């Protein structure tokens, strides 16, 4: 493994003259357009970035087929070694230990650029570690990674999804890897509530840990309220709402598998009696509820990323506006709403404009009580603000 870091095995990428400043801001993504020439072995996983005079200015993971040719991990004189990467992994885990306690045993351990480990996402679900390895560099240091995971966390099971599109681009295997006893299914504890997680079946890494604090907020806001949980997936927001004293929780999701999971999670927490489970298109469902003059004290709207690519932002904005507009019409007098966008390409500014347009058309007087983001185990590097995908608002109607 060490040998992939040896200088003879590294790609040497020389910057175009005039592009020297691409490293000035320490942004980890170095695009192919800034590179004048490439030397060194074709199958290199590690690359050095040289200025036009041949001085090394950065080192990182090399991807011959990605637009992002180099994911810089170190700059200037800092040597890129296996030990340095290992130390970053250990440090990322150590920084999160305080989040684990007898009420919460599921956290994100490593958040790619947010932990200076571009291409690596690791989540802990109780006794199971779930990972996404997105580039050839991480793939090659996997033995070291697994060793650190074993030493630091002693998991029963490690499950690597291997389903990122980037892996296909890099011609890495796309079969999942399951290492351990039994199955990767487990039950987690989050803020004292229990959830089933099956990494082999779920979306993304199985359970959206980034919403943990926003779910806790939903619990605080739910006492005595009738709650609508749109795009409910695992039903997690609904379970929190019920735990917070909601009188009714309506979970709505287009997937019957998700709705079954939501039902089991309500069961696990003893709140099936006040909950409803609807397999329905959320866009159609909010219209139906509005036509029936239904009202809710708290609405959660957490759709999937409508804009996966920049060109889809306009269409996504229309989708967010539509579902939020009808949801706003369903709010009780002084009702509150937690509304989210997890599209990386939709900025907070644009999302606020969309919410404004929805309120205007819904004819409701609405204020922002709070701005919401991902939980702190999903850090965003100041040097790579693209990592900030989840944004949301806590809204309230006045009248
Ligand atoms: N709120 C969830 C995460 C939502 S993920 C949580 O806290 O974990 C997005 C969910 O939206 C998925 O479960 C998907 O099945 C569902 N979905 C996507 N399009 C939908 C639609 N048009 N109507 C209803 N559900 C939809």
Could you write out the DSSP letters of every residue in 310-377?
GGGHHHHHHHHHHHHHHHHHTEEEEEEEEEEE--TTS-HHHHHHHHHHHHHHHT--EEEEEEEE--TT
User: What pLDDT is recorded for position 262?
Assistant: 97
Q: How far is CA 124 from the centre of its chain?
A: 14
User: What pLDDT is recorded for position 311?
Assistant: 86
d(CA 123, CA 22): 31
Q: Whose CA is nearest to atom 3 of ligand 1?
A: 233
Ligand 1: distance of its center to the CA of 348 in Å?
20
Distances in Å between the alpha carbon of 343 and those of 27, 99, 386? 21, 26, 11
Catalytic residue among 193, 342, 354, 375: 342
For residue 231, the ligand 1 atom closest to its alpha carbon is 11
Element (H, E) at 62: strand 56-62
196 CB within 6 A, ligand 1 = no
Element (H, E) at 178: strand 177-180
Give the orientation angle of helix 142-153 with respect to helix 82-96, to 10 degrees.
30
Cβ neighbours of residue 384 under 8 Å, at least 6 residues apart?
27, 28, 29, 113, 114
Question: Could you read off the pLDDT tens digit of each residue along the chain, which spans 399 residues?
Answer: 788 999 999 999 999 999 988 999 999 999 999 999 999 999 999 999 999 999 999 999 999 999 999 999 999 999 999 999 999 999 999 999 999 999 999 999 999 999 999 999 999 999 999 999 999 999 999 999 999 999 999 999 999 999 888 888 888 999 999 999 899 999 999 999 999 999 887 555 479 999 999 999 999 999 999 999 999 999 999 999 999 999 999 999 999 999 999 999 999 999 999 999 999 999 999 999 999 999 999 999 999 998 888 888 999 999 999 999 999 999 999 999 999 999 999 999 999 999 999 999 999 999 999 999 999 999 999 999 999 999 999 999 998
Count of CA atoms in the C-beta half-sphere (13 A) of 77: 0
Distances in Å between the alpha carbon of 292 and those of 134, 288, 295? 47, 6, 9
What 3-state DSSP class applies to 58? strand
What the block records as the tokens of 391 is 């944004």
Asked if residue 341 lies in contact with residue 301, where contact means CB atoms within 8 angstroms, the answer is: no
Active-site annotation holds for 342: yes
d(CA 324, CA 65): 39
User: What pLDDT is recorded for position 203?
Assistant: 53
195 CB within 6 A, ligand 1 = no
Give the mutation target among 229, 253, 343 for probing the ligand 1 site: most ligand atoms within 8 A of CB.
Answer: 253
d(CA 22, CA 70): 12
CB atoms within 10 A of CB 363: 9
- Which of 132, 201, 125 is CA-nearest to residue 157? 125
- Which of 239, 182, 176 is CA-nearest to residue 211? 239
Residue with tokens 């889809």, as numbered in its chain? 312
Q: What angle do CA 13, 29, 159 make, to 5 degrees?
A: 110
Q: What angle do CA 67, 71, 76 make, to 5 degrees?
A: 130
User: What pLDDT is recorded for position 200?
Assistant: 86
| pTM score | 0.95
């Amino acid at each position: 493994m060490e040998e992939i870091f040896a200088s003879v095995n590294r790609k040497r990428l020389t910057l175009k003259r005039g592009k020297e400043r691409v490293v000035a801001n320490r942004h980890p993504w170095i695009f192919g357009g800034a590179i004048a020439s490439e030397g060194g072995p074709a199958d290199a996983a590690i690359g050095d970035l040289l200025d036009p005079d041949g001085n090394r200015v950065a080192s990182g993971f090399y991807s011959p087929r990605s637009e992002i040719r180099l994911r810089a991990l170190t700059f200037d004189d800092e040597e890129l070694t296996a030990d340095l990467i290992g130390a970053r992994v250990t440090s990322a885990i150590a920084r999160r230990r305080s989040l684990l306690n007898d009420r919460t045993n599921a956290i994100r351990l490593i958040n790619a650029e947010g932990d200076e480990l571009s291409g690596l996402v690791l989540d802990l679900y109780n006794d199971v570690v779930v990972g996404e390895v997105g580039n050839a560099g991480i793939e090659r240091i996997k033995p070291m990674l697994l060793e650190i995971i074993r030493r630091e966390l002693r998991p029963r099971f490690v499950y690597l999804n291997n389903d990122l599109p980037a892996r296909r681009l890099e011609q890495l295997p796309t079969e999942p890897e399951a290492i351990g006893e039994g199955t990767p299914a487990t039950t987690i504890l989050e803020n004292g509530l229990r959830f089933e997680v099956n990494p082999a079946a779920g979306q993304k890494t199985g359970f959206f840990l980034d919403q943990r604090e926003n779910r806790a907020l939903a619990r605080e806001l739910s006492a005595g309220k009738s709650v609508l949980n749109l795009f409910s997936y695992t039903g997690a927001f609904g379970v929190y709402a019920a735990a917070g004293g909601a009188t009714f929780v309506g979970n709505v999701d287009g997937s019957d598998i998700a709705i079954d999971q939501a039902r089991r999670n309500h069961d696990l927490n003893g709140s099936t009696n006040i909950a409803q489970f609807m397999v329905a298109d959320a866009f159609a469902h909010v219209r139906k509820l509005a036509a029936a003059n239904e009202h809710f004290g708290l609405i959660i709207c957490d759709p999937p990323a409508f804009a996966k690519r920049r060109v889809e932002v306009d269409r996504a904005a229309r989708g967010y506006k539509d579902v939020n507009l009808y949801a706003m019409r369903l709010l009780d007098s002084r009702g509150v709403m937690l509304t989210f966008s997890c599209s990386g390409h939709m900025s907070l500014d644009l999302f606020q404009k969309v919410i404004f347009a929805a309120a205007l058309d819904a004819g409701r007087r609405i204020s922002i009580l709070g701005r919401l983001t991902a939980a702190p185990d999903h850090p965003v590097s100041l040097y790579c603000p693209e990592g900030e995908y989840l944004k949301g608002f806590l809204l309230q109607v006045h009248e």
